Structure 1
Amino acid sequence: MSNVSRRRWRVPAWLIFLGILPIAASLYRIAVLIGTDPATVTNTDELRFFAQPVSIALHVIFAVAFLVLGAFQFVPHLRIGTPSLHRLIGYGAAVSGIIFALSGVYMVVTYPPHSLANPYIDIARIILGLAIPVMIALGIIRAIRREFPAHRAWMIRAYALAASSGAQSWLIAVAMLINGGFDATLADTMMWLGWAIGILAAEWVIHRQPRQHRARSVS
C-alpha cells in the first residue's frame, strides 16, 4: 500500500480506534446479559439492564455501525471518486446514528439511575442524545438541497458528539490509572471534558482551511 493510500485511511482508522473502549465495554455488557441468569444478580446497578435488554442491544449495535460507517465518510477518495458509495454509506450511518442516539436517551429516561449517577450528566446525555438526530436531519436536508458544505458540517457535528463517548472512555481510563482507582467526581469531570473535546474538534474540522486553500491565499 502506498503512502497516499495509507494517509487516506488514517483518519477512519484513528476514529475507530477511539471507539474501541466503549465498544468493547458494551459488547461485554451484552455478553453478560445473554449468559447470566438474572436471578443470580444481586447488584441493583447491574440488574437494571436485565429488565430491558433489547434497548441496550439496539444502542450497542447501532453505535458500532455509526462509528464505523461514519468514519469512512471522512475518506475524500470515497466522497469524490465514488459518490454513490458515499451516499449509500451515509444513509446507513444516518439511520444508525438516529437509532443509537434515541435508544441511549430511552435508556437514560427509563432505566433506574446508577447508584453513582450524576443527574446533571444524565440531563446532558438526554440533551446531546436528542441533538444528534436533529443534526443528522439537518445534514440530510442540506444534502437534498445540495448545500454540501452545510451538510458536511452538520454530519461532522453529529458524529463528533457520538464519538465523544470514545474520548470519555479513554480519559476515564487514564484518570483511573493516575488516581489509582475509580473516583465518581473525577469520572464526571472526564465526561464533561470528553464532550467539550468532541464539540471543539468538530468545529475545528469544519472551519479549518484546507491546505491547498491556505497555500493559495499565501501566494
Structure 2
Amino acid sequence: MALSVIPLAAGSLRLVQLAGGPDLIPADDRLTGFPTALVLHITAAAFFALVGAFQFLPGLRRHHPAWHRRAGRLVAVAGLAVAGSALWLTLFYEAQPGTGALLYVLRLVFASAMAASLVLGVAAIRRRDMTAHRAWMIRAYAIGLAAGTQAFTDGIAAAILGTGELGMDVAEGSGWLINLAVAEWTIHRPARRRQPRHPDGTTTTRRAPAGAPT
C-alpha cells in the first residue's frame, strides 16, 4: 500500500486536472477531453492496489473467507481493467515523450502477463488449487504495483544515466523485473511454521518444505 502512494497520488491529480480542476501536475498534450481508458486505468488501479493488498493477509482469509472471495472477484475484475486499459493506452495513444520502442514492447508484454496471471489465478481457485492461485495472484499484483517501484528506478536511472530514451526505458522495465523477482522469492521461500510455546516461554520455529501450503 505504501508503494502505491506515489502513482495513486499522481493519478488522482491527473483526474482532477481532466475534470477541469487546477493543473497540479504538468499537463499532458496527448490527453484531450476526459479519456475513458485513462480514467478507467487510474480508478481500477487504485482499487486493485489498495483492496488487493488485504487479499494477502492470512488472518483475513482464515477469519473472513466470504469477504476474501467477494473482494477477490472485484480485485480480479479491477486487475483485468488495469491490464486492458494499459494495452489500449499503449496501442492507441501517442507514446509519452522521452520513451522509445523498448518501453512500448515492455508495456505490451507486462500488461498481457498481468492479464494472463489473473486469468490463471481465477482458473486455479475454481479447481481448488490454492497454491497455484496464490502464486498467480502474487505475480499479477507485483506487475500491477510496478508503477510504485518505477518512481524509484526512474529517479535512480536519471541521476546515474541521465534522461536519455534508452536509459529511461530500462529504468521502467527494471521496476517490473524487481517486483517479479520479489514475487517469485515470496512464492518459493520456505514457509515458517510456529510451534507452541515451551514451558520457559520460548517458541520453536521450523521451516516447512519449499512449496508446502501455508
More relative contact order, 1 or 2 (CA 8 Å, 6+ apart): 1
Q: Deviations over 1:63-109 (max 9, x none)?
A: 00000111001111111111111111111110000001100110010
Gap runs ≥5 in structure 2: 195-204, 210-214
What is the aligned partner in structure 2 of residue 136 from structure 1? Answer: 118
Q: Which stretch has the larger CA shift, 164-173 or 52-61?
A: 164-173
Q: Deviations over 1:126-181 (max 9, x none)?
A: 111112121111111110110100010111111111111110112223545x4597
Per the normalisation by structure 2, the TM-score is 0.83
Equivalent runs, 1:95-114 vs 2, <5 Å: 95-114=77-96
Asked if 1:192 is matched to 2:173, the reply is yes
Structure 1 pair 91/128, CA: closer, same or farther in 2 (3 Å)? same
Letter in 2 for 1:33: L
Q: Deviations over 1:11-37 (max 9, x none)?
A: xxxxx1101111111122222222279
What is the aligned partner in structure 1 of residue 187 from structure 2? Answer: 206
What is the aligned partner in structure 1 of residue 71 from structure 2? Answer: 89
CA contact (8 A) 2:102 2:169 kept: no
Structure 1 pair 216/112, CA: closer, same or farther in 2 (3 Å)? closer
> Residue 32 of structure 1 is aligned with which of 17, 31, 51?
17
Alpha-carbon distance in structure 2 between the residues aligned to 1:60 and 1:153: 25
Gap runs ≥5 in structure 1: 1-15, 38-42
What is the aligned partner in structure 2 of residue 55 from structure 1? Answer: 37
Q: Which runs of 4+ in 1 moved over 3 A?
A: 173-176, 178-186
Aligned residues: 196
> Residue 129 of structure 2 is aligned with which of 138, 147, 150?
147
Letter in 1 for 2:183: A
CA contact (8 A) 1:69 1:92 kept: no
What is the aligned partner in structure 1 of residue 105 from structure 2? Answer: 123
Bigger proportion of residues as strand: 2
CA RMSD, 1 decimal: 2.5
Letter in 2 for 1:187: M
Letter in 1 for 2:115: P
CA contact (8 A) 1:21 1:170 kept: no
Letter in 2 for 1:27: S
What is the aligned partner in structure 1 of residue 5 from structure 2? Answer: 20
Match of 1:212, SS?
Answer: strand
Asked if 1:64 is matched to 2:46, the reply is yes
Match of 1:114, SS?
Answer: coil
Q: Which stretch has the larger CA shift, 81-90 or 55-64?
A: 81-90
Structure 1 pair 21/217, CA: closer, same or farther in 2 (3 Å)? closer
Alpha-carbon distance in structure 2 between the residues aligned to 1:168 and 1:55: 21
- Calculate percent identity across the aligned residue pairs: 33
